Amino acid sequence: MTDQELARIANEVRRGIVTAVHAAKSGHPGGSLSIADILTYLYFEDMSVDPTDPGCTNRDRLVLSKGHAAPALYSVLAARGFFHAEELETLRRIGSRLQGHPNMNDTPGVDMSTGSLGQGVSAAVGMALAAKHWHESWRTYAILGDGELEEGQVWEAAMLAGNMQLDNLCIVVDHNGLQIDGTIEEVNSAMPVADKFHAFRFNVIELTDGNDMAKIRDAFQKARTHKGEPTCIVAETVKGKGVSFMENQVGWHGKAPNDEQFARAMAELVAAGKEL
Amino acid sequence: MAEEKRIATRVSYGEELVALGAERDDFVVLDADLAAATQTSRFKAAYPDRFFDCGIAEGNMVGVAAGIAAAGKKVFCSTFAMFAAGRAFEQVRNSIGYPHLNVNICATHAGISVGEDGATHQCCEDIALMRSIPGMTVIVPSDDTEARAAVRAALDCAGPVYIRLGRLAAPVINDPVAYDFKMGRGVTLREGGDVTIVATGLMVAAAIQAAEALSAKGVAAEVINIHTVKPLDEELVRASAKKTGRVVTCEEHSIIGGLGDAVLAALASDPVPVRKVGINDVFGESGPALELLKKYGLDATGIEREVLDFLKD
């Protein structure tokens, strides 16, 4: 797919995110919108997955360690054909397959149950270790928030992955700079992240615009070919990306738009989509 | 009771891993820098390429195990009970329990019989913690025979299994050839009509000994071995309780949330008086294991005393 085609899908994914969170009347739009482009690229261009056979043993895996960005994952999976996009509106409802945080046993295409920050990355290390040990060629991705890096378990997992030279593992840090209580600088910054992961024996790729398809493509292509070390892509992103009044606003970490805000957000996204 | 052979269940675990490793190569073993103590070092020595030391980071080890299982593979992970069930509780709950993954957590050094290391390492809360996780199977083997059978059964059990193992050498009470281990099924070791002693783990041998001593005093105690605390063999417990009218539970664990409470819950709808022998809501202390067990009433004498006191009521 071309970058433009991928960008169009990312726009569709953003509409799905906003629709799902609005319908649920709760959820996390900010960090879902920041990671929408990267997830779109991975599921449509990089990862080997099969919507008709979600459990295919040789598929590439993705662990959404920042599980609160579930609306983004669900919206991408719907766009990719794992389930119908209409189901997005059942997000967080009783009986829905789309739980507030991802559950691998509920949702086709979800590879690991996550939501408790810091835990997903360990599972991703386990997956990569399993693939290596049983000589299987699939890759594992883990998506982490920058606030999530404050969890010590992230560094326990990183230490092991680096020491085990798991080059079939790619960790993505969604560096949007904001967490619930404020900017990560105000709360407890893990910066400089690139230096830290380098010290943990990772190949580090600094993705200067994690919302730009061409740059995303370049970063992940480099990650895929790097051998001997796991890769960490530090992606500079904009929280709330694509909805003007949500962009870089910490208040939109975990809040649903009301009807008026939803209409405005969708109008913006539809207009942006037409220009692509 | 024949007590010629004594072996710690952690050793049984290590040896059985090696035996399983010879039969099949579809599983790996993780540890967190305690391989020599948990006895996974035996497996490491036999199959170094199937063993992974995750270092002193138990939460991560549990998560790594979850990832291996989520990839459709089989895995054992080991550390001390304090760290597996205690420190890594939330990782066990959310990364293994919630997705119901086939991870076998074999936790050693459970209970006060850890001995000299003292209270920080004497985990008397792990049964309570693990029982509280939906879908978790909790097994506390009483001896070498049972520990080996439990490890073997866990490997092909679809969901998560927590196996509680001890540091102290324990008498072998089950015939290694004839014993038929069935997960979730209790075993009546001795029949009697005056009182039911329901025991688990290290306390099963003590319960048999106590029953023998009681018999000499004219008290006929029924002894039930509950190796699987969850799911509990409620039917067996209820039937025996109905028969004897009195139940004494015995565990090397806090009286809060363990076997005793599981039995109480099973009897709640048709109540029978219950006494609980266990750690009475206190922390342990350093000392030789056998002396500690005696001090805290977790031996045959302690059980006998409790039963005789109970019968006075």
Using CB atoms, pick whichever of B64, B72, B94 lies closest to residue A125: B64
pLDDT at B74: 98
pLDDT at B111: 98
Chain B residue numbers with beta carbons less than 8 Å from the beta carbon of A113 are: 94-95, 98-99
**How many residues belong to chain B?**
313
Using CB atoms, pick whichever of B50, B57, B64 lies closest to residue A126: B64
For residues B187 and B235, give the distance between their C-alpha atoms in angstroms, rounded to a whole number: 12
Nearest to A108 by CA among A84, A131, A139: A84
C-beta atoms surrounding A198 within 10 Å: 15
Annotated catalytic residue B58: yes
B95 lies within 8 A of chain A by CB: yes
pLDDT digits (tens, 9 = 90+) for A59-97: 999 999 999 999 999 999 999 999 999 999 999 999 999
For B102, phi then psi, to 5°, come to: -80, 75
Q: Where are the domains of chain B?
A: 6-171, 187-312
CA distance A44 to chain B (A): 21
Rounded to 5°, angle at Cα B131 from B127 and B134: 155
- Cβ atoms A219, A235 nearer than 8 A: yes
Task: Report, as an integer, the average pLDDT of A250-273.
Answer: 97
B60 lies within 8 A of chain A by CB: yes
For residues B59 and A120, give the distance between their C-alpha atoms in angstroms, rounded to a whole number: 11
CA distance A258 to chain B (A): 32
For residues B41 and B79, give the distance between their C-alpha atoms in angstroms, rounded to a whole number: 12
pLDDT at B313: 80
Determine whether the interchain pair B100/A105 forms a contact, defined as Cβ–Cβ distance below 8 Å: yes
Task: Report, as an integer, the average pLDDT of A174-190.
Answer: 95
Percent of chain A residues topping a pLDDT of 90? 100
Chain A residue numbers with beta carbons less than 8 Å from the beta carbon of B73 are: 130, 133-134
Q: Which residue has the tokens 């993954």?
A: B101
What are the start-end ranges of the H helices in chain A? 3-24, 29-41, 70-80, 119-133, 152-163, 184-187, 193-199, 213-225, 259-274
Nearest CA in chain A to B72: A57
- Cβ atoms B144, B9 nearer than 8 A: yes
pLDDT digits (tens, 9 = 90+) for A99-130: 999 999 999 999 999 999 999 999 999 999 99
Nearest CA in chain A to B56: A156
C-beta atoms surrounding A66 within 10 Å: 31
pLDDT surpassing 80 at residue A195: yes
Q: Where are the domains of chain A?
A: 3-275
pLDDT tens, per residue, chain B with 313 residues: 444 789 999 999 999 999 999 999 999 999 999 999 999 999 999 999 999 999 999 999 999 999 999 999 999 999 999 999 999 999 999 999 999 999 999 999 999 999 999 999 999 999 999 999 999 999 999 999 999 999 999 999 999 999 999 999 999 999 999 999 999 999 999 999 999 999 999 999 999 999 999 999 999 999 999 999 999 999 999 999 999 999 999 999 999 999 999 999 999 999 999 999 999 999 999 999 999 999 999 999 999 999 999 999 8
Chain A residue numbers with beta carbons less than 8 Å from the beta carbon of B47 are: none
pLDDT at B179: 96
Token duo for residue A266: 């969708």
Q: Out of B58, B146, B251, B252, which one is annotated catalytic? A: B58
Distances (CA, A) of B239 to B64, B173, B193, B266: 42, 24, 12, 11
Determine whether the interchain pair B99/A119 forms a contact, defined as Cβ–Cβ distance below 8 Å: no
pLDDT surpassing 60 at residue A1: yes
- Model pTM? 0.97
The class that CATH gives domain A3-275 is alpha beta
Chain B residue numbers with beta carbons less than 8 Å from the beta carbon of A111 are: 70
Determine whether the interchain pair A57/B72 forms a contact, defined as Cβ–Cβ distance below 8 Å: yes
The average confidence (pLDDT) of chain A is 98
pLDDT digits (tens, 9 = 90+) for A208-260: 999 999 999 999 999 999 999 999 999 999 999 999 999 999 999 999 999 99
pLDDT surpassing 70 at residue A149: yes
Matching CATH number, B6-171, of 3.20.19.10, 1.10.132.20, 3.40.50.970, 3.30.350.10: 3.40.50.970
B135 lies within 8 A of chain A by CB: no
CA distance B311 to chain A (A): 50
B28 lies within 8 A of chain A by CB: yes
pLDDT at A41: 98
Chain A residue numbers with beta carbons less than 8 Å from the beta carbon of B55 are: 156, 159-160
- H or E stretch covering B203: helix B203-216
CA distance B55 to chain A (A): 8
Matching CATH number, B187-312, of 3.40.1390.10, 3.40.50.920, 3.40.390.30, 3.40.50.10540: 3.40.50.920
Using CB atoms, pick whichever of A57, A103, A112 lies closest to residue B67: A112
Chain A residue numbers with beta carbons less than 8 Å from the beta carbon of B66 are: 112, 119, 122-123, 126
pLDDT digits (tens, 9 = 90+) for B80-97: 999 999 999 999 999 999
